[in-house]
Amino acid sequence: MGQIEEEEAEIDRLPIDLLAHIFSLFASFKDMAQSSSVCRKWRQGVKESLARRETLSFSGWKMDDETTTRLVGLAYGLKELDISRSRWGCQITDQGLKQLSTAKCIGNLSTVSMWGSTAITDIGVVHLISQAGSLQHLNIGGTFITDVSLFAIADSCPYLKSVILWGCRHVTAEGLRVLVSKCLELKSINVWGMRIPRDCFVSLRTVSPSLQIHPKGIL
């Protein structure tokens, strides 16, 4: 019993900075959640480790709206956010995107992936994108967004350089035209699996001659 108490005392003497560094090495969000429940000091260490992170990926982890938004809300310095959906992974909804849009880090994000998030619609996307003015790279492929989301991206993301719209079959040629016309720094766009006539891509190249359209064989 005395040995256990001594070990616990040694752990208690670890400075917050060191605890935060240790927790920042955790790949499992489940482990982080369990660590934060050990004691108040460890909870603070977990919070500080999240504040230091520039990248968070929930892809492949079983996450819901509440847990995802709580962790992102603590990641003040976040630059890259991956909330892609996988079979057992993150299953964010419009409510989650609305909550995420209020996080302090959203305006500083350079990269966001919502790949395959079939539970989101234009409603949630517009909430999030309208606050993501620094966005440069966006993956929103495999979702059911429409031109409404593209109009919001075009209005809110002037620094956008690449966008993946793989399989977004509810987007039309008009949405693409507005996006390319307003996002003047756009260099790459992935349109695989979309129901867009070939002449639309020709006209996009007229608007932006240097635009790379993937897959390359589409033109």
* Tens digit of pLDDT at every position of the chain (219 positions): 445 444 455 656 777 777 777 777 776 666 777 777 778 888 888 888 888 889 988 877 778 898 889 889 989 999 999 999 865 556 889 999 999 999 999 999 999 999 999 999 999 999 999 999 999 999 999 999 999 999 999 999 999 999 999 999 999 999 999 999 999 999 999 999 999 999 999 999 999 999 999 997 666
Give the Cβ contact number of residue 2 at 10 Å: 6
**Rounded Cα distance, 88 and 186, in Å:** 33
Number of independent structural domains in the chain = 2
| Greatest C-alpha distance within the chain | 78
Q: Which residues contact 138 (CB under 8 A, 6 or more apart)?
A: 111, 112, 113, 153, 157, 160, 162, 163, 164
Domain co-membership, 150 together with 58: yes
Same domain for 99 and 16:
no
Is 138:163 a contact under the CB 8 Å cutoff? yes
* Amino acid making up residue 41: K
Domain match, 2 and 65 both: no
Same domain, 17 and 105: no
Rounded CA gap, 15 and 133, in Å?
37
- 55: three-class secondary structure by DSSP: strand
Predicted TM-score (pTM) of the model is 0.85
CATH number of domain containing 29? 1.20.1280
What span, in angstroms and rounded, lies between the C-alpha atoms of 132 and 105?
A: 9
Structure tokens at 145: 């967004």
Residues 22 and 81 in one domain: no
